[in-house]
Amino acid sequence: MKTKSMIKLFLSLSVISSTFVGAIANDAVLNSDPIDINGYVTEPNATDHELEKVRGELRNQKNAIKINKEKSKTYDKLGRSTEKLAEVTEEMIEERKESQVTIAKYNKKIECLMEENPGKDCDAYVKRKHDTVSVGQAAPQIVHEVQTPTKMGDVIKLLPYAGITSIQSENEDLEGSLNIGLRVESDVSERISVGLGFNYSTLQTTDFANGVQAYTPDFRRNYNQFYGEGREVEYSNLNFDIYSKYFLTKTERFRPYVGGGVAYNRTSSNYSDNRGTNISAGGFNQQFGDEEITANSISARILAGSEILFTKSFGLNLELQYSKALGSSFGNQENNVEGFDQTRLRNLTDEINDAHTISVTAGVLVLF
């Protein structure tokens, strides 16, 4: 019994000793200096109440910045959503008003149709037997809404333009180098207009048939050797025309049309190199060069195009034009009847004047 008591006492003392030693070790660990990653003891950071308070305020401000940024994004989304809501609401209100007007007109029409003797407020919905005159006057009301001038001079149109020209004949296929013009016109009714205009166009081509009127082969050889194998021809046409257009629709913005007219043409042709040459043969001296032809002609024209208005006073005019001479040219003037190439130049001019001419133009439309 005594031995057992001694064993129990020894065990109790061992447990108490272990607990005391563990507490001392834990306190040593908790109160020991911090150790950095390399295993060295580091000094604790100095601090006090004021520093901790500043640090706390800094953390609060950082959190406030994040919150305010998120609020800003949310308010921006809310603003855009509100704008969209306002647009949709406005559309809804307009649609509701229109539907209410339509429903009211429908109800009024039904009410008028049901009445045996409808009043004057039903005139817009009930066709009366004695209203044939007023029904016939509906067309002028439509014209008034379109606001198309009904007499000449109400609106004056100014149309400067430029374009390209193609000239085709039996022996020639030429392209113009310049095509400009100006027109002034006015509507005489809602679908018809008349106008005046002038146009100036030029082209260049090369004549490879020099000397066709040489008196002898020697003259031809010398003349061609002087000018080379070909001579450049310059052709110009100044014309004045009167025309009329018929508009296919009554719309204000887009007005396609067809038309026609006649033009007076004053043409001039000459060689670019007008140097003279003096050929002596058989005791005769001949001075050649400086050939030029001036001619007059009348041509007919067919027009197709459209006026495109961007505003009430400004727009664009696009047009395709075909013209052909009416008969032969007249009033031709030759400055050198003795020249070798005079006949060639005259024949070339007549052929161009009598050719099929197609022009595509674009211009500005200004209304006054």
> What is the per-residue pLDDT across 194-236, written as a single tens digit (0 to 9) for each?
999 999 999 998 876 654 444 444 444 445 555 556 678 899 9
Mean pLDDT, rounded, for 118-136? 64
Asked if residue 271 belongs to a domain, the reply is yes
pLDDT given at position 46: 75
The last residue of one of the domains, among 136, 171, 191, is: 136
pLDDT given at position 137: 47
pLDDT given at position 141: 44
CA–CA distance, 267 with 236 (Å, rounded to integer): 6
Q: Are 75 and 132 in the same domain?
A: yes
pLDDT given at position 250: 83
Asked if residue 195 belongs to a domain, the reply is yes
Query: What percent of the chain is predicted at pLDDT more than 70?
Result: 67
Asked if residue 341 belongs to a domain, the reply is yes
The last residue of one of the domains, among 114, 136, 158, is: 136
What type of residue sits at position 196? L
Higher pLDDT, 143 or 334: 334
Q: Which of 79-93, 107-121, 217-231, 337-351 has the lowest mean pLDDT?
A: 217-231
Helix (H, G, I), strand (E, B), or coil: what is residue 295? strand
Domain CATH for 290: 2.40.160.20
Give the β-pairing of 314-325 and 284-288: unpaired
Q: Which of 206-220, 275-289, 319-333 has the highest mean pLDDT?
A: 319-333
| Per-residue pLDDT at 108 exceeds 90 | no
CA–CA distance, 362 with 368 (Å, rounded to integer): 20
Geometric angle at alpha carbon 120, from 119 and 123, rounded to 5°: 105
CB count within 10 Å of CB 312 equals 10
**What domain range includes position 333?**
148-367
The last residue of one of the domains, among 109, 136, 163, is: 136
Asked if residue 3 belongs to a domain, the reply is no
Asked if residue 228 belongs to a domain, the reply is yes
Q: Which of 11-20, 67-76, 205-214, 279-288 has the lowest mean pLDDT?
A: 279-288
pLDDT given at position 201: 95
CA–CA distance, 132 with 138 (Å, rounded to integer): 10
Q: Are 185 and 69 in the same domain?
A: no
Give just the sign of the alpha carbon dihedral 212, 217, 222, 228.
positive
CA–CA distance, 103 with 175 (Å, rounded to integer): 64
Asked if residue 12 belongs to a domain, the reply is no
Q: Are 75 and 108 in the same domain?
A: yes
Q: Are 359 and 238 in the same domain?
A: yes
Q: How far is CA 265 from CA 86, 119, 147, 299, 364, in A?
A: 65, 67, 37, 7, 24
The answer to whether residues 355 and 172 touch, using CB atoms and an 8 Å cutoff, is yes
pLDDT given at position 328: 81
Q: What is the DSSP string of 52-89?
A: HHHHHHHHHHHHHHHHHHHHHHHHHHHHHHHHHHHHHH
Mean pLDDT, rounded, for 128-151? 47
Asked if residue 32 belongs to a domain, the reply is no
User: Could you tell me which residues are beta bridge partners of residue 196?
Assistant: 184, 242
pLDDT given at position 172: 82
pLDDT given at position 9: 63
Mean pLDDT, rounded, for 71-77? 90
Tell me what the pLDDT averaged over the chain comes to. Answer: 78
Counted residue by residue, the chain has a size of 368
Closest CA to 301 of 363, 362, 364, 357: 357
Q: pLDDT-based confidence at 342, cuts 50/70/90?
A: confident
Query: What percent of the chain is predicted at pLDDT more than 90?
Result: 37
Q: Are 153 and 125 in the same domain?
A: no
Q: Are 182 and 235 in the same domain?
A: yes
Asked if residue 293 belongs to a domain, the reply is yes
Mean pLDDT, rounded, for 231-251? 92
How many domains does the chain fold into?
2
Higher pLDDT, 242 or 40: 242
